[in-house]
Structure 1
Amino acid sequence: MARDVESSPDTPTTSALQRPKIEPQLARNPETIRTTDSVMDEKRAPMPPPIRRGVSPLRVILATGYLAFAAVVYLCFMPRASFSHLSSAPFDEEPMPTTHELVPLEAHIMSKCPDAKVCSVRSTYPNQTSNKDQDCLRDMVLPAMQKAYEKVNFTLSFIGTPTEQDDGVKCKHGPEECLGNIIELCAQRLYPDPKTFLGFTMCLTRDYKHIPQRSLIEDCALEHAIDFEKLNECATKDDGALGVGWRNKELYSPT
């Protein structure tokens, strides 16, 4: 018969042997805790913003001066360097002078002729001679002179017959036509721009039956910015001697 083992205070029981020994956790050192917390706080602390250095005024001045210098060099030297290969001649060599003779162009009209819009145009360019009757004042002479009057030696003369009477010229349509011719010639001498005096002449031609009435002359002069008083003085000065002299000099006689 098995004997009961008497338990004694020094003999561990079965439950005590089988129960795992649980050791109490070591007490944490307060200094260690504070040190660890401070280190973690330092790790979690935000990084300070980067230090931004201001731009020195000297750098701004130097950069601006460099850009200005580069722009001047580019504008002064780059065009010549870019296009110098197009010409083999040196830049200091002057171009060859060219001379061109003005193309002579003559228009012969009668101020009170029913066919005043049709005038005789004679070309006397070297080696070329031609005579044509066309509606030249409106369709040929005026448009051409507006574009090329600097290249043309244009002469507007008036048809008449030389005589020892009537101030040296006899006009086909009477003395009023002679006065109309003088007025148109004065406009040509006072305002040599073809756009002005040809426009004035065409204005009179549209109403040729009323030449040389004052109202018509004033209206056409106003339309083409011509001073009527100067025009009237030219036509009547010294009893018309000035205008008569110009007319006789520019006289064109078909005979």
Structure 2
Amino acid sequence: MDEKHQHLPQPMNMDPPRASTIFAKARRLLLIAVLLIVSFHLVAVPFMPKDFFQCDHGSTTKALVPFEAHIISKCPDTRHALRNLILPAMQKVHDKVDFQLSYIGKPTANGGVECKHGPSECIGNIIELCARELYPDPKIHLGFVMCLTKDYPQIPDRALIEDCALEHAIDFNKLNECAARDETAHGIELLRNSVQRSADANVTISCTIRLNNEVYCIRDDDQWKDCPNGPGVNDLVLAIEKLYHGSS
């Protein structure tokens, strides 16, 4: 009790000795309760698992799985692979992969690039590479590429590029500036470097999908080839999950 209550007059029917006994017992019970609480924290807690009070939010940093698609912009096999395998897989495992689009062509002696479907395809490739340079997040530039690829015969029609840029919140003027920078030298360099990357990986067919720096599957002549794990979305997702978590 506090001092204020200790100085109040005793009720006439209260037996002082009995009240003192009650207060003494209360103090002993309180002391026992305090000791129990203290002993719980001092004795019981150390024997609990280390993570008893922790939640696993997956904070452990793991290496992203290299995931790459080698494409050309004016290609039906590219369209099919993006629409039916790459995009659906990325929706499920985008946070577990280091994704990249690389382009296929032939470097020329004068520092240029020869594209399978001519200069218009080279321009389309450059525009898509500029989108990646300006918007590194695959959720943006990959969606933009898919938008163009749906109407690939129209690449590089300005109306198509403007519509897809608007749909995916991409600045058309920045795309144009990137492609035309230094009298197109910047865009050609982006394409040349990308083509060289595909050549270094010995990739010549669009669309070739590589996982963990090895060929995973190829879409060519309107069919899947060299896909030992299967060309399905779930097959690809499972393969990425195994690599990401280090499973055999």
Aligning the two structures, in what range does the TM-score lie when normalised by the shorter sequence? 0.5 to 0.7
Instruction: Tell me which of 194, 201, 219 is aligned to 1:250.
Output: 194
CA displacement at 1:219 relative to structure 2: 0.5
CA displacement at 1:248 relative to structure 2: 1.4
Instruction: Tell me which of 67, 87, 109 is aligned to 1:164.
Output: 109
CA displacement at 1:196 relative to structure 2: 1.1
Q: Secondary structure at the match of 2:156?
A: coil
Structure 2 Cα separation of the partners of residues 184 and 151 of structure 1:
23
Structure 2 Cα separation of the partners of residues 142 and 90 of structure 1:
39
Alignment partner, residue 184 of structure 2: 240
Determine if the alignment matches structure 1 residue 109 to structure 2 residue 71. yes
Which sections of structure 1, spanning at least 5 residues, go unmatched? 1-79, 119-134
Alignment partner, residue 212 of structure 1: 156
Alignment partner, residue 153 of structure 1: 98
CA displacement at 1:210 relative to structure 2: 1.1
Structure 1 Cα separation of the partners of residues 45 and 175 of structure 2:
54
Alignment partner, residue 123 of structure 2: 179
| Structure 1 runs of 4+ with >3 Å offset | 80-86, 88-92
1:112·1:173 contact (CA, 8 Å) conserved in 2? yes
Instruction: Tell me which of 202, 209, 230 is aligned to 2:174.
Output: 230
Instruction: Tell me which of 83, 100, 123 is aligned to 1:138.
Output: 83
CA displacement at 1:156 relative to structure 2: 0.4
Alignment partner, residue 25 of structure 1: none
Letter in 2 for 1:171: C
Equivalent residue runs for 1:25-64 within 5 Å: none
1:103·1:152 contact (CA, 8 Å) conserved in 2? yes
1:106·1:157 contact (CA, 8 Å) conserved in 2? yes
* Structure with more relative contact order (C-alpha pairs < 8 Å, separation 6 or more): 2
Q: Secondary structure at the match of 2:124?
A: helix
Instruction: Tell me which of 87, 100, 109 is aligned to 2:49.
Output: 87
* Aligned-residue RMSD, C-alpha: 2.9
Alignment partner, residue 236 of structure 2: none
Q: Secondary structure at the match of 1:157?
A: strand
Determine if the alignment matches structure 1 residue 203 to structure 2 residue 147. yes
Structure 2 Cα separation of the partners of residues 202 and 182 of structure 1:
15
Letter in 2 for 1:146: Q
CA displacement at 1:84 relative to structure 2: 7.7
Which sections of structure 2, spanning at least 5 residues, go unmatched? 1-40, 205-248
Percent of paired sites with the same residue: 58
1:142·1:194 contact (CA, 8 Å) conserved in 2? no
Letter in 1 for 2:171: D
**How does the TM-score come out when normalised to structure 2?**
0.55
Distance of aligned partners of 1:163 and 1:98 in 2 relative to their CA distance in 1, 3 Å threshold:
same
Larger radius of gyration: 1
Letter in 2 for 1:235: A
Distance of aligned partners of 1:111 and 1:99 in 2 relative to their CA distance in 1, 3 Å threshold:
same
CA displacement at 1:149 relative to structure 2: 2.4
Q: Secondary structure at the match of 1:141?
A: helix
Determine if the alignment matches structure 1 residue 190 to structure 2 residue 134. yes
Distance of aligned partners of 1:240 and 1:100 in 2 relative to their CA distance in 1, 3 Å threshold:
same
